[in-house]
Amino acid sequence: MPLDHRRGASLLGAEERAAVLEVLDSQALFRYGGLGRVESFESAVQSFVGTAHALATSSGTAALSAGLAALGVGPGDEVIIPAVTFIATANAVVVAGAVPIFCDLDDSLGLDPEHLATLINARTAAVIPVHLENIACDMDGVLAVTGPAGIPVLEDACQAIGASYRGRLAGTLGDLGCFSLQLEKNITAGEGGVVVTNDPTLHLRATRYTDQGGQFVTGRGASRGEMDLPFVGENLRMTEIAGAIAGVQLGRLPGLLASMRAAKSAVLKGVGEIPGLVALWTPDPEGDGGSSCIWYAPDAEIAARFVASLLAEGIPSARIYNGEPVYANPAYRDRRTVTAKRSPWLHHPVDVSYRMGMCPRGEDLVARSVAVAIAPGYGDAEVEVVVEAVHKVADALL
């Protein structure tokens, strides 16, 4: 039977149940009024990550959309993102009306600062570094490029709430940061997201965008300036039930991260150095969230066989995103949106197309990746099972 690799979902229990029932008994499920569970969760996130503002949303994707809206990203703009990430990073850019520009990767599977510098131009409206698999990418390198160029940074920390980079939590180093509370993330409400920032204007714009553009708060401000006027937005609000669950889960996060970090350290120590397997480079090992061990196999074929063999041993394993970059997806390869009328590529001032070979380093690394999931429930027995399985498969394939 496969090991249970769930994170926050594995800890759902009596406290979450009681929090949900309290909201149900109140009969006030909307975030405004009632018990204020969403607002309480937002305040707890602010305290946890150390930002001035936090906005709860209906999903991590919604958080990305709100962040892009706050930055004013739209048609004619380009947004630079990593070649390898969950497709939501790219989708949020396209839905905003902008064009994603894919950047090659360094050995951490994060944005390569050197390639990033070559992609920035007058149309670049934002850069979205992604903290993949709970590992913060090289933010010093990214900010060294974006800072002098005056390009805002929207951190996609959807997979990395609680992970850190040189003493600062992922999501707090750029202009805005986004987290996800989807079922497979560190903490979960089934679905949900958060936008964090220290900029009050960006927070206000994001908040209004997620609440139909602020249609119901028009004129409340005293200045009657631009930010007192409504604009067209969406409904990306979190419900009180999700807020109640998320609030309990956030309290579990420090312990959950400590457990995963300890288990990962034990697995890496137990596996040791295996000829033919190269461990993924981590820009800040101390800040690693600990949810997976990732190695690079000698080639894509061996990586695929390695993963299949580990799965046969009951070890949760995969090549990152099936070993492919985002632009291998037919929707991006063919630049296909729900209707051609909504295609940002058709209205962009230059032709931007996607093909394999665009980001060769990232394509090679992700094709050769072997990821083994680590969960907070892993004790000595589970660690031993993982270590033995990795050695068994390596002995057979390498």
Q: Which of 146, 171, 142 is nearest to 159 (CA)?
A: 171
Helix then strand then coil, in percent of the chain rounded to 5, is 45, 15, 40
Q: Rounded to an integer, what distance in angstroms lies between the CA atom of residue 296 and that of residue 273?
A: 12
Q: Rounded to an integer, what distance in angstroms lies between the CA atom of residue 157 and that of residue 160?
A: 5
Q: Is 341 a catalytic residue?
A: no
Q: Which residue has the tokens 């949303």?
A: 57
The one catalytic residue among 185, 264, 269, 341: 185
Q: Rounded to an integer, what distance in angstroms lies between the CA atom of residue 214 and that of residue 282?
A: 41
pLDDT of residue 216: 62
pLDDT of residue 220: 44
pLDDT of residue 334: 96
pLDDT of residue 219: 41
Q: Which of the residues in the chain have pLDDT under 50?
A: 218-223
Token digits of residue 132 = 């993949």
pLDDT of residue 343: 96
pLDDT of residue 227: 67
Token digits of residue 33 = 């009024």
pLDDT of residue 1: 72
What would the DSSP string read from start to end of 57-73?
ESSHHHHHHHHHHHTT-
Q: Rounded to an integer, what distance in angstroms lies between the CA atom of residue 149 and that of residue 288?
A: 29
pLDDT of residue 355: 97
Own/partner pairs, 147-152, CB within 8 angstroms, 24+ separation: 149/120, 149/124, 151/120, 151/124, 151/125, 151/126, 151/127, 152/71, 152/125, 152/126, 152/127, 152/176
Q: Burial of 54 by CB count in 10 Å (0-12 exposed, 13-18 middle, 19+ buried)?
A: buried
